[in-house]
Amino acid sequence: MLQTTIARVNEEDVPRLRSWLSSLSSRTDELRESYRQQGTRHELFFLVRTRRAPILVLVAEVESDEHATRSFLHSELPIDVEFKALFQRISPEEAEVELLYDSTRFVEIVAA
């Protein structure tokens, strides 16, 4: 299942975000444990530049959306605690996101 998070980011916080994401390459054991607990298979982080503010788009492939979200929110792993704190700091306001199309139902019909 794909899970997407979209948030506006303060421009002055973009270097902090880049630095934290770069640090993940030296924290592979922690990252693996976080992924294991959340059922995450793959993550992509995109920074979308707009006139108003940069937008962070996080796309993750997870076993279960509900489990991944619940596990992340309750995680006490240092890597997850740090990311939650960073995210709250760099994204002071939520972006309004509207799902316009989801092919899940169509794909299930075709596969049947």
Q: For 5-17, what is each residue's pLDDT tens digit? A: 999 999 999 999 9
Helix or strand holding residue 17 (H, E): helix 14-23
**Single pTM value for the model:** 0.84
For 30-46, the pLDDT digits (tens) are 999 999 999 999 999 99
Burial of 100 (0-12, 13-18, 19+ CB in 10 A): exposed
| Residue pair 90/9 in contact by the 8 Å Cβ criterion | yes
pLDDT along the chain (112 residues), means of 10: 91 95 96 97 96 93 95 97 93 80 73 57
- Report domain extents, the chain: 2-111
The domain over range 2-111 is classified in CATH as 3.30.70.1090:
yes
CA atoms within 13 A on the CB side of 111: 6
Partners of residue 56 on adjacent β-strands: 7, 47
